[in-house]
Amino acid sequence: MPPIDVYRIGDLHFVRDGHHRVSVAHALSQTTLEAYVTAVNTRLSISGVRSRRDLVVKSYERVLADRVPLPGAQRASLVASDPWTYAELGEAVEAWGCRAMQDEGRFLDRREISRRWYDEEFRPVVHMLRDADLIGRRTDSEAYLRVATERYRLIRTHEWSDDIIARLRDLLA
């Protein structure tokens, strides 16, 4: 049999060409196959990937990492169960950055916007949500997005106050 063609990402292998050869080898209890292996190096950890579907999530995470360049630990703290949330989070950060540039009347690059959004917006908001017991079963990123969206609908501003937290608690209850 000719060698199969696979991609190696971390310790996982994904068959590019040779699915039938793999199934025949498996049926015959063969434990090895010759293969052409293309190693793929990634900027994101491969942890949590067990199937092709998991790669979809990783692709959204990668797009977020490009749009919101944060250091490793901060980037790793942005977790979502739905891959689309990463796209929404990227939009939210870019919108926050646009407002910050308008307020300050100067250009901010992606790294500065990302760092400032994380320190000045995300962390304080998540802290307030925890104190107000508004996280629930969501991840911090999901809770932030839900509440940030509702906050804007409620008051058309991006400021937080005890009154807004109370109104959000009533809305989310």
Q: Which domain holds residue 91?
A: 70-172
d(CA 117, CA 112): 8
Higher pLDDT, 85 or 164: 85
User: According to the model, what pLDDT value does residue 45 have?
Assistant: 67
* Digit-coded pLDDT (tens) for 35-56: 999 998 776 666 667 776 777 7
45 lies in a domain? no
2 lies in a domain? no
The number of folded domains in the chain is 1
* Digit-coded pLDDT (tens) for 54-92: 777 777 888 899 999 999 899 989 998 888 899 999 999
d(CA 142, CA 131): 16
99 lies in a domain? yes
User: According to the model, what pLDDT value does residue 41 have?
Assistant: 79
The residue among 93, 156, 118, 86 whose CA lies nearest residue 127 is: 118
Band of residue 21 on the pLDDT scale cut at 50, 70, 90: very high
pLDDT tops 70 at residue 173: no
The answer to whether the CB of 63 falls within 8 A of the CB of 84 is no
d(CA 65, CA 75): 7
Q: What percentage of residues in the chain have a pLDDT greater than 70?
A: 89
* Choice among 12-16, 86-90, 95-99, 140-144 with the minimum mean pLDDT: 12-16
14 lies in a domain? no
Higher pLDDT, 144 or 134: 144
